[in-house]
Structure 1
Amino acid sequence: MSYSKTYTVRWADMDPNVHMRHSAYTDYAAQVRLEFLADQGFTMQHFAELKIGPILFREDTRFLKEIHMSETIRVSAELGGISADGSRWRIIHTLYKADGREAATVTVDGAWMDLRLRKLTLPPPELVAAFSGITRHATYADIVREKKPDA
């Protein structure tokens, strides 16, 4: 499924150079990710009940065009990769200006954490299915996890 949301850039998103501050790009990416999960039934309350939550290992932003106050932007979420067990994933967000030009991409690599044990965990099958249902980015590649050698 193709997933995106439209937002109006706020005063709080601006920096002294009168364009959107660098960290606001990742804020909008995180917001669309969480809205996608909520739309699939995985609200923050449901995550709390499951005692798991998403965590990030890496967040990379490419800035392509300036975004200014009160502009309308569209932020998409596409699957960049997922491991066979759904424990690791990559989401690629594209921020588009109102005229359709790409303004930035935000790539995040993440996993799921058991909130009680504070350790990585496997997600429930329904969550794997929800993530697997996101439209695949043109650069999609399966995430292959290497086995750790026995200690």
Structure 2
Amino acid sequence: MSVYYHKFEVRWSDIDANRHLGNSTYVDYCSQTRMAFLNKNKIGLTQLNRWGVGPVMLHERYSFFKEIYADQTVFVGLEVAAMSEDGMIYQFVHKFYLPDGTHCATAEATGVWIDMMLRKTTTPPEDILLVMNEYKSENVQTISREYLKTLPFRPENIDVSLLENFK
């Protein structure tokens, strides 16, 4: 089991009106941590393009414990908390830490690998599976397509006429 950490220097533009790290910045930091993780493990955009696969996030949720301010350093961890047997579905847990080890927030991100041409879920190449297995948490769970049905939101289309007054 390994945990990957990515370091951020909190910029002025990362702060919201309450003078702490903005909600959208947490999303950006998690996304950048995932891409840095992939790059570090030789699964960057060039390799993903060669394989014709890409990671897609389906659901993210956050819990916040302590504020993070401008000019602070923050470390965002990444570990694989859950994965389907074939690796097509995955879940990362990101933990935000200050340099003194203070745990400020946790994020959970569930995603799938897709075939970039077909735009459908696919099993990732063995190289990706090897890296994902290296970063599994101690309590990693096995999940399946059935797990995706338990995510809290489902698509709910509406009648387009409801939007007419807002065009």
TM-score higher than 0.5 here?
A: yes
- Among all aligned residue pairs of Structure 1 and Structure 2, give the percentage whose two residues are the same amino acid: 32
Write out per-residue CA displacement over residues 15-46 of structure 1, whole angstroms, 9 at most, x where no aligned residue.
11111101111211111111111111111121
Secondary structure of the corresponding residue to residue 141 of structure 2 = coil
The residue correspondences of 1:2-151 to structure 2 (distance < 5 A) are: 2-136=3-137, 139-146=139-146
Secondary structure of the corresponding residue to residue 18 of structure 2 = coil
Write out per-residue CA displacement over residues 59-91 of structure 1, whole angstroms, 9 at most, x where no aligned residue.
001111110001010110011111110001110
CA contact (8 A) 2:83 2:91 kept: yes
- If the length of structure 1 is used for normalisation, what is the TM-score? 0.91
Name stretches of at least 5 consecutive residues in structure 1 with no aligned partner.
147-151
Write out per-residue CA displacement over residues 126-148 of structure 1, whole angstroms, 9 at most, x where no aligned residue.
11111111041x553111344xx
CA contact (8 A) 1:91 1:107 kept: yes
Which residue number corresponds to residue 159 of structure 2? none
Which residue number corresponds to residue 153 of structure 2? none
The offset of 1:117, in angstroms, is 0.8
Matched pairs, number: 145
Write out per-residue CA displacement over residues 91-140 of structure 1, whole angstroms, 9 at most, x where no aligned residue.
0000012221111111000110111111111101111111111041x553
Which residue number corresponds to residue 161 of structure 2? none
Cα distance in 2, alignment partners of residues 87 and 144 from structure 1: 9
Cα distance in 2, alignment partners of residues 139 and 103 from structure 1: 21
Secondary structure of the corresponding residue to residue 69 of structure 2 = coil
Provide the alpha-carbon RMSD of the alignment. Answer: 1.3
Moved over 2 A (4+): none
User: Higher Cα Rg: structure 1 or 2?
Assistant: 2
Cα distance in 2, alignment partners of residues 89 and 16 from structure 1: 34
Cα distance in 2, alignment partners of residues 29 and 139 from structure 1: 21
Cα distance in 2, alignment partners of residues 109 and 75 from structure 1: 17
